[in-house]
């Protein structure tokens, strides 16, 4: 991990928002070619593979490493409006403006309806790799993501469908 | 959330994952269908009706947004870009990321189909170190690619010392619209026994 809690550094302070087009298109392609199970497997393997350096820090340092990571993560995402709260038992990420959904809507892109589920599948898998769990409520531009040591099973009905 | 700050990192990881699921065919289908036909459809929407002017409009926007070190040379019958510091490949090199077989192939993997649909062909070389050049011409124009310095003058990436020093690393495409049409340098062609490592 680098000094600002992200594993990788770019030469510019924030990413290029048009890449959200590619993330949305990637979901659509994998879902169409490999089905829903294939798409979920993609997210789980991305979580355990690509994100392994972050998972390792979370596993080593616990919840205290989770909040600073998300603060730095969203600071590098253009258009994000997010508050991160840490009370030692849970870390709550309040997404007031999801940068991806906002950019896709602004440019009238057809958003895959299951877009917001990716945050649950990906982030819970990353949390589980560190002995934690993550639950999500909301979606379609605003949501709450809660990281803790234990929680009731995720109710998928609490994750909103994304609309264009 | 999958973010855009480190997009090139998980993009590279995704290429390797797709190839593991369905081989190079699935990886190529991804570049053509998901990137050319969906994500970057605004490129085709500019290039198909506007031709060279559409290319300028698309790449001036996107390369500026990505903070690339590049030059664009506009001729009457050619559109040329020289990439001196590719922000995408540079991100991988700077962070020691290497998941896929040949990350640089993704560019012609999606730009090729866009150009084919719009009636253009591509001459292109990349050195895997964040430098490349592209010349687009109408498919019916038989003109050969420019010699180093002739078109882009001092901005020609082929005049760089590190370009001259890397002939064995160069992948070349001639009047191409497909990643399958790669011409490997002789040394790599012999060792791999195939025209393209993307097949």
CATH number of the domain within which A61 lies: 3.30.1380.20
Whether B193 shows a pLDDT value over 50: the answer reads no
**pLDDT at residue B96 is higher than 60:** yes
Q: Given pLDDT bands bounded at 50, 70 and 90, which one contains residue B167? A: confident
Distance of CA B10 to the CA centre of its chain: 18
CB atoms within 10 A of CB A24: 26
pLDDT value of residue B135: 98
Domain ranges in chain B are 7-192
Residue B18 has pLDDT above 90, yes or no: yes
Contact yes or no for B38 and A99 at CB 8 A: no
How many A/B residue pairs have CB atoms within 8 Å? Answer: 111
Q: How many CB atoms lie within 10 A of CB A64?
A: 11
The CA angle A104-A106-A108, to the nearest 5 degrees, is 65
Cβ-based contacts of B113 with chain A (< 8 Å) = none
Chain A: give the shortest CA distance to residue B183, in Å.
28
Query: Chain A: nearest CA to B145, how far in angstroms?
Result: 31
Please tell me the least confidently modeled range out of A7-11, A24-28, A90-94, B21-25.
A7-11
Name the residue in chain A with its Cα closest to that of B31.
Answer: A26
- Of B50, B28, B172, the C-alpha closest to B111 is B28
pLDDT of residue A144: 98
Q: B83 has which bridge partners?
A: B70, B132
- Candidates A126, A135, A129; CA nearest to A47 is A126
- What's the CATH number of domain B7-192, 1.10.530, 3.30.1380, 3.30.460, 2.30.110? 3.30.1380
Residue matched to tokens 């264009």? A164
Going by the DSSP 8-state scheme, the letter that residue B183 receives in this structure is B
Residue A13 within a domain: no
Residue A161 has pLDDT above 80, yes or no: yes
pLDDT band for B164, please (50, 70, 90 cuts).
confident
Among B1, B71, B12, CA closest to A100: B1
Contact B121, B115 (CB under 8 A): yes
**Banded pLDDT at B196 (limits 50, 70, 90):** very low
For residue A1, is it within any domain? no
The model's confidence at residue B191, banded by pLDDT at 50, 70 and 90, is low
Nearest chain A residue (CA) to B29: A29
A140 within some domain? yes
Residue A14 in any domain: the answer is no
Find the chain B residues whose C-beta atoms sit closer than 8 A to any C-beta of A: 1-7, 9-11, 13-14, 17-18, 21-22, 26, 29-30, 33-35, 38-40, 62, 65-67, 87, 90-91, 94-95, 97, 99
Chain B partners within 8 Å of A50 (Cβ):
9-10, 13, 99
Closest CA to A57 of A130, A4, A154: A130
Q: How many domains does chain A have?
A: 1
In this predicted structure, what is the pLDDT of residue B188? 66
- The shortest C-alpha distance from B159 to chain A (Å) reads 25
Instruction: Report chain B's mean pLDDT, rounded to a whole number.
Output: 91
pLDDT of residue B192: 52
pLDDT of residue A99: 98
Least confident residue range of B31-40, B55-64, B121-130, B189-198: B189-198
- Quickly state the pLDDT bin for B198 (edges 50, 70, 90): very low
- What is the Cβ-side half-sphere exposure of residue B25, based on CA atoms within 13 angstroms? 2
Give the pLDDT band of residue B168 (cuts 50, 70, 90).
Answer: confident
Q: Cα(B61)–Cα(B23) distance, rounded to whole angstroms?
A: 33
Interchain CB distance below 8 Å, B4 and A46: no
What would the pLDDT profile of A1-15 be if each residue is shown by its tens digit?
Answer: 555 899 999 999 999
What average pLDDT does range B180-195 have in this prediction? 68
Residue B1: its chain A contacts at CB < 8 A? Answer: 73, 77, 98, 100, 118-119, 122-123
Domain carrying residue A144: 19-158
pLDDT tens digits for range A26-59: 999 999 999 999 999 999 999 999 999 999 999 9
* A6 contacts in chain B (CB < 8 Å): 5-6
Test B33 with A99 for CB contact under 8 angstroms. no
């Amino acid at each position: 991990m680098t000094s600002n809690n992200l594993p990788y550094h770019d030469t510019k302070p924030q990413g290029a928002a048009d890449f959200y087009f590619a993330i949305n298109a990637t979901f659509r392609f994998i879902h169409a070619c490999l089905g829903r199970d294939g798409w979920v497997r993609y997210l789980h393997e991305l979580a355990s593979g690509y994100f392994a350096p972050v998972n390792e820090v979370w596993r080593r340092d616990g919840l205290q490493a989770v909040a600073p990571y998300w603060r730095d993560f969203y600071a590098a995402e253009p258009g994000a409006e997010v508050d991160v709260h840490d009370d030692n038992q849970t870390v709550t990420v309040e997404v007031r403006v999801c940068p991806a959904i906002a950019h896709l809507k602004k440019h009238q892109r057809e958003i895959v309806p299951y877009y917001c589920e990716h945050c649950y599948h990906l982030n819970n898998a990353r949390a589980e790799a560190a002995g934690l769990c993550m639950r999500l409520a909301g979606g379609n531009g605003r949501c709450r993501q809660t990281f803790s040591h234990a929680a009731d099973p995720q109710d998928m009905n609490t994750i909103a469908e994304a609309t264009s | 959330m999958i973010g855009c700050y480190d997009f090139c990192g998980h993009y590279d990881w995704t290429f390797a994952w797709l190839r593991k699921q369905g081989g190079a065919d699935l990886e190529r289908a991804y570049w053509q269908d998901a990137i050319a036909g969906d994500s970057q459809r605004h490129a085709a929407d500019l290039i198909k009706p506007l031709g060279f002017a559409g290319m300028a409009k698309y790449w001036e926007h996107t390369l500026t947004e990505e903070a690339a070190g590049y030059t664009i040379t506009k001729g009457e019958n050619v559109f040329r870009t020289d990439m001196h510091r590719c922000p995408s490949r540079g991100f991988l090199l700077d962070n020691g990321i290497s998941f896929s077989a040949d990350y640089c192939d993704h560019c012609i993997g999606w730009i090729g189909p866009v150009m084919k649909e719009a009636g253009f062909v591509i001459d292109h070389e990349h050195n895997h170190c964040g430098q490349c050049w592209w010349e687009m011409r109408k498919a019916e124009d038989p003109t050969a690619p420019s010699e180093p310095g002739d078109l882009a003058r001092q901005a020609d990436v082929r005049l760089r010392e590190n370009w001259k020093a890397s002939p064995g690393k160069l992948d070349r495409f001639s009047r191409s619209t497909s990643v399958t049409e790669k011409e490997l340098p002789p040394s790599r062609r012999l060792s791999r026994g195939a025209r393209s490592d993307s097949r």
